[in-house]
Structure 1
Amino acid sequence: MQFKDYYKTLGVEQGASADEIRRAYRKLARKYHPDRNKESDSEDRFKELGEAYEVLKDPAKRKEYDQLRAGGWRGGDDFKPPPGWHGGFRDAGRAGGAGGGEGFGDFSDFFESLFGGGLGGMRGGGRQRVRAKGRDVNATVEIDLDTAFNGGKRRISLDRGGKRQDLEVNIPAGVTPGRRIRLSGQGEPGMGGGPAGDLYMEVKIAPHPLFELDGRDVIIDLPVAPWEAALGAEVRVPTLGGKVTMNIPAGSSSGKRMRLKGRGLPGKPAGDQIVNLKVVVPKPGSDRERELYEELAEVSGAKVREGLAG
Structure 2
Amino acid sequence: MARDYYDVLGVNRDADADELQRAFRMLARRHHPDISKAPDAEDRFKEINEAYQVLSDPETRRRYDRFGPDFRKIPEGYEGAARPRDGGPSREDGEWTFETGGVDIGDLFGDLFGGRAGSGRRPSWTDAAGADREAELTLTVEEAYRGGRRTISLRGPGGVRSYDVTIPAGVVDGQRIRLAGQGAAGRGQGAAGDLYLVVRIEPDPRFRLDGRDVIVDLPIAPWEGALGAEVPVDSPGGRPRVTVPPGSSSGRRLRLRGQGMPNAGGRPGDLYAVVKVMVPRDPAPRERDLFEELAKVSTFDPRRESAAWHSR
TM-score, normalised to structure 1, is 0.67
Instruction: Say if 2:174 is the partner of 1:171.
Output: no
Gaps of 5+ in 2: 29-46, 69-77, 86-90
Counterpart CA distance in 1 for 2:248 and 2:79 is 85
Deviation for aligned residue 1:235: 0.8
Which is worse superposed, 297-306 or 258-267?
297-306
Q: Which among 233, 236, 255 is matched to residue 229 of structure 2?
A: 233
Counterpart CA distance in 2 for 1:298 and 1:189 is 79
1:276 equivalent in structure 2: 274
Q: Which among 208, 214, 220 is matched to residue 218 of structure 1?
A: 214
What secondary structure is seen at the aligned counterpart in 2 of 1:292?
Answer: helix
* Aligned-partner residue type, residue 190 of structure 1: G
Q: Which among 92, 97, 108 is matched to residue 81 of structure 2?
A: 92
Instruction: Say if 2:250 is the partner of 1:264.
Output: no
2:62 equivalent in structure 1: 59
Deviation for aligned residue 1:290: 1.4
> How many percent identity over aligned positions?
40
1:90, 1:112 within 8 Å by CA — same for their partners in 2? no
Over 3 Å counting, the alpha-carbon distance change for 1:188 and 1:296 in structure 2 is same
How many aligned residue pairs are there?
Answer: 250
1:7, 1:14 within 8 Å by CA — same for their partners in 2? no
What secondary structure is seen at the aligned counterpart in 1 of 2:164?
Answer: strand
2:125 equivalent in structure 1: 129
Deviation for aligned residue 1:197: 0.6
What secondary structure is seen at the aligned counterpart in 2 of 1:258?
Answer: strand
Kindly report the root-mean-square deviation, in angstroms, between the aligned alpha carbons of the 2 structures.
4.2
Gaps of 5+ in 1: 28-45, 66-88, 100-104
What secondary structure is seen at the aligned counterpart in 1 of 2:275?
Answer: strand
1:14 equivalent in structure 2: 13
Counterpart CA distance in 2 for 1:7 and 1:113 is 24
Instruction: Say if 2:294 is the partner of 1:299.
Output: no
Deviation for aligned residue 1:242: 1.6
TM-score, normalised to structure 2, is 0.66
1:136, 1:199 within 8 Å by CA — same for their partners in 2? yes
Counterpart CA distance in 2 for 1:245 and 1:197 is 47
Counterpart CA distance in 2 for 1:176 and 1:204 is 8
1:284, 1:290 within 8 Å by CA — same for their partners in 2? no
Counterpart CA distance in 2 for 1:9 and 1:304 is 70
Q: Which among 237, 241, 244 is matched to residue 240 of structure 2?
A: 244
Deviation for aligned residue 1:215: 0.6
What secondary structure is seen at the aligned counterpart in 2 of 1:291?
Answer: helix
